[in-house]
């Protein structure tokens, strides 16, 4: 995720895709305040919890023969099934669909075709937008496809990392960020642009797509000393990279302040003088600008619809049923039939559960957690994990 902020008036979104073309009418009109958009909308089926899309127009020109979403038919299909769904879609007008061929699939319907063949296509859209709006304030949301699966590095990056497609697309993402920053600088905008770089979850290697990510990992530790990963209530699932950059305004440094991406709403509202504060969002602008180390004191964390609690240096995970490990991606989920309590200052890897030895702290954490969560919160017992 790479928001580039200059104001609250001109908005532009460049998000990643997930799965399936959706039968959406005037979808973009629902996004209030976005002046422009690009790419076509790919949506998961209605039965899935999350929603990611390419935004900019949609396949609204097409008439469907069936109301069943393509993603529903694909279900648990692997990347080859995903690549094939384009050619077997039940759309009436193949001529209209064909005009999206090069963007959707370089080899239409082929098992070897890539859904997205070059991240630089998105990069160019972002760069063009910056150039076209250089004379006025803008907000650009640029969500890179790389290194999300399916990983399809541009030919210029294939083999560049020695770690397979996963390593190659990480280098490609790094290059794209650098190129966007170069564009801001060449357009004379870098001194007046706040750049925020972050991720929406912790690391995962084979996320349903097997591309030698495990075999070629080497000594790289994606989660560092943290336990867990994507889907996990442990720290590696929810503690993500977060970088703010504003040339001439933010001094280089490292902060241990606890913040949430939720806090961007109120913080950026403060920056641009808006009264539109976000719900559950704290104004931590001084923290983001490197002027303060005082972040949040506490926050409720979430992974796969289950929640945990952070307060200061302490982390508490309530009891949950279900598997302790997501076997498909080999990541610990944090599920346990007993409470878990960790002192992160002394045990960043969450190896020593203090729930039984420090009952006083555990009860304090449980009370604070329940107060924030509120009454009537449903207890999630069993989750379908993929």
- CATH no. for residue 361? 3.30.1120.10
What distance in Å separates the CA atoms of residue 144 and residue 137, rounded to the nearest whole number? Answer: 22
Q: Give the model's pLDDT for residue 262.
A: 95
Same domain, 215 and 303: no
Specify the higher pLDDT residue, 106 or 168. Answer: 168
74 located within any domain: no
State pLDDT tens for residues 42-87.
Answer: 433 333 333 333 344 333 344 444 444 444 444 444 444 444 444 3
What distance in Å separates the CA atoms of residue 100 and residue 121, rounded to the nearest whole number? Answer: 14
**For residue 39, what pLDDT band results from cuts at 50, 70 and 90?**
very low
3-class SS at 170? Answer: helix
What distance in Å separates the CA atoms of residue 7 and residue 268, rounded to the nearest whole number? Answer: 9
Same domain, 251 and 279: yes
Containing domain of residue 314, as a range?
298-373
Same domain, 164 and 212: yes
Q: Give the model's pLDDT for residue 50.
A: 37
Q: Is residue 295's pLDDT more than 70? A: yes
Q: Give how many domains the chain has, as a whole number.
A: 2
Same domain, 37 and 140: yes
Q: Give the model's pLDDT for residue 83.
A: 41
Same domain, 339 and 258: no
What distance in Å separates the CA atoms of residue 203 and residue 223, rounded to the nearest whole number? Answer: 6
Same domain, 307 and 184: no
384 located within any domain: no
Going from the C-alpha of 116 to that of each of 8, 14, 214, 246, 306, the distances in angstroms are: 31, 14, 23, 31, 32
Same domain, 149 and 197: yes
Cβ–Cβ < 8 Å for 335, 322: yes
Q: Give the model's pLDDT for residue 375.
A: 75
State pLDDT tens for residues 184-239.
Answer: 999 999 999 999 999 999 999 988 778 899 999 999 999 999 999 999 999 999 99
What distance in Å separates the CA atoms of residue 197 and residue 382, rounded to the nearest whole number? Answer: 34
What residues have CB less than 8 Å from 189, skipping those under 6 apart? 6, 130, 134
């Amino acid at each position: 995720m790479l928001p580039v902020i200059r104001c609250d008036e001109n908005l532009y979104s460049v998000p990643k895709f997930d799965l399936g073309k959706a039968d959406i009418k005037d979808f973009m009109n629902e996004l209030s305040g976005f002046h422009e958009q690009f790419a076509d909308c790919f949506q998961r089926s209605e039965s899935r919890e999350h929603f990611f899309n390419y935004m900019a127009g949609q396949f609204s020109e097409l008439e469907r023969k069936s109301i069943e979403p393509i993603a529903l038919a694909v279900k648990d299909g692997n990347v080859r099934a995903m690549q094939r769904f384009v050619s077997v879609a039940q759309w009436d007008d193949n001529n209209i669909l064909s005009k999206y061929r090069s963007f959707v699939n370089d080899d239409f319907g082929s098992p070897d075709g890539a859904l997205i063949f070059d991240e630089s296509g998105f990069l160019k859209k972002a760069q063009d937008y910056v150039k076209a709006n250089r004379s006025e304030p803008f907000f650009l949301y640029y969500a890179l496809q790389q290194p999300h699966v399916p990983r399809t590095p541009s030919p210029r990056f294939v083999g560049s990392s020695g770690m397979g497609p996963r390593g190659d697309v990480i280098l490609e993402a790094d290059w794209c960020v650098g190129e966007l920053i170069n564009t801001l600088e060449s357009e004379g905008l870098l001194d007046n642009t706040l750049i925020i770089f972050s991720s929406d979850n912790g690391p995962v290697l084979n996320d349903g797509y097997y591309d030698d990510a495990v075999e070629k990992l080497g000594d790289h530790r994606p989660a560092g000393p943290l336990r867990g990963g994507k889907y996990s209530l442990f720290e590696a699932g929810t503690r993500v990279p977060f970088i703010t950059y504003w040339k001439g305004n933010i001094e280089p440094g490292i902060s241990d302040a606890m913040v949430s991406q939720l806090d961007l709403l109120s913080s950026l509202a403060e920056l641009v003088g808006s009264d539109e504060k976000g719900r559950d969002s704290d104004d931590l602008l001084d923290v983001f600008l490197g002027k303060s180390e005082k972040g949040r004191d506490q926050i409720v964390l979430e992974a796969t619809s289950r929640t945990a609690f952070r307060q200061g240096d302490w982390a508490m995970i309530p009891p949950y049923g279900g598997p302790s490990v997501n076997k498909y991606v080999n990541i610990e989920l944090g599920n346990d039939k007993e409470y878990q309590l960790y002192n992160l200052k002394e045990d960043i890897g969450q190896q020593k559960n203090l729930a039984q030895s420090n009952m006083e702290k555990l009860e304090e954490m449980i009370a604070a957690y329940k107060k924030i969560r509120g009454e009537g919160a449903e207890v999630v017992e069993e989750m379908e994990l993929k």
